[in-house]
């Protein structure tokens, strides 16, 4: 099994998951940012020229959250970090993985896009923050349920928590110290903050974030 990736928001998801699962794999780590992902040999694997890509035998797979689900189904057979497809929680995991890939990622990449290309357009930046606050509001509400849920789905740390935690880490990494960071985050989203600290305490996660 070979993973083509880099230490970015999406690239880290399968990288860290394989690390904490302890599944043998090879990593092709791109020197980020790179134009290599636009070369023909890589576009054959990933036609949009994105990371990550997983090649496992005959299967070549793109899209970080589809890769997470694939690894879970094939290699997390005891469902340590996932749910079996007969478990109703399986579908809640799918739904949150899509929410992470769509609303969460869009809100973050929208704001980072304005940071890069329209840093003085106050109206756009306000709209960007509105979206991001809305998404974090949804996460806060989910994690505040039942007096404070420890994890997003069910009662264990799963690929859903991993996907959101990697996205949250990426946001901090890309906005810290700038006007694009969220001030007083822990006061605005206390349950997200608590949950994130619990994620960082999971065996292998901090190491996973250091992989380069």
- Binds its own copies by CB under 8 A, chosen from 39, 91, 148, 207: 91
Rounded-to-10 torsion of CA 117, 119, 122, 125:
70
- Binds its own copies by CB under 8 A, chosen from 2, 25, 115, 127: 127
- Binds its own copies by CB under 8 A, chosen from 88, 147, 177, 183: 88
Q: Which residues contact 187 (CB under 8 A, 6 or more apart)?
A: none
Question: Does 191 contact its own copies by CB under 8 A?
Answer: no
Rounded-to-10 torsion of CA 69, 53, 108, 113:
-160
- Binds its own copies by CB under 8 A, chosen from 34, 39, 80, 95: 95
> Shortest CA distance to 164 belongs to which of 186, 190, 180, 143?
143
* Adjacent-strand bridge partners of 2: 26, 55
Nearer to its own copies, 3 or 205 (CB): 3
The least distance separating its own copies from the CB of residue 99, rounded to whole angstroms, comes to 6
Question: Does 206 contact its own copies by CB under 8 A?
Answer: no
Nearer to its own copies, 140 or 198 (CB): 140
The least distance separating its own copies from the CB of residue 204, rounded to whole angstroms, comes to 25
> Shortest CA distance to 167 belongs to which of 104, 113, 94?
104
Nearer to its own copies, 10 or 205 (CB): 10
- Binds its own copies by CB under 8 A, chosen from 21, 23, 28, 94: 94
Nearer to its own copies, 21 or 66 (CB): 66
Q: What is the largest CA-CA distance in the chain?
A: 52
CA distance 181 to 173: 9
Question: Does 124 contact its own copies by CB under 8 A?
Answer: yes
């Amino acid at each position: 099994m070979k993973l083509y990736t880099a230490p970015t928001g999406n690239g880290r998801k399968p990288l860290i998951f394989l690390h904490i699962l302890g599944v043998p794999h090879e990593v092709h780590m791109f020197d980020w940012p790179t134009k290599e992902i636009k070369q023909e040999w890589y576009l054959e694997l990933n036609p949009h020229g994105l990371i990550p890509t997983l090649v496992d035998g005959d299967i070549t797979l793109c899209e970080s959250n589809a890769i997470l689900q694939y690894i879970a189904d094939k290699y997390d057979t005891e469902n340590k970090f996932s749910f079996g497809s007969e478990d109703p929680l399986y579908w809640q995991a799918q739904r949150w993985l899509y929410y992470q890939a769509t609303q969460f990622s869009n809100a973050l990449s929208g704001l980072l896009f304005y940071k890069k290309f329209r840093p003085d357009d106050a109206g756009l930046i306000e709209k960007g923050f509105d979206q991001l606050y809305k998404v974090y509001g949804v996460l806060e509400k989910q994690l505040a349920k039942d007096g404070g849920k420890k994890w997003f789905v069910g009662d264990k740390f799963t690929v859903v928590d991993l996907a959101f935690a990697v996205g949250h880490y990426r946001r901090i990494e890309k906005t810290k110290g700038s006007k694009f960071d969220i001030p007083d985050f822990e006061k605005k989203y206390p349950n997200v903050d608590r949950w994130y600290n619990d994620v960082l305490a999971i065996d292998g996660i901090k190491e996973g974030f250091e992989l380069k």
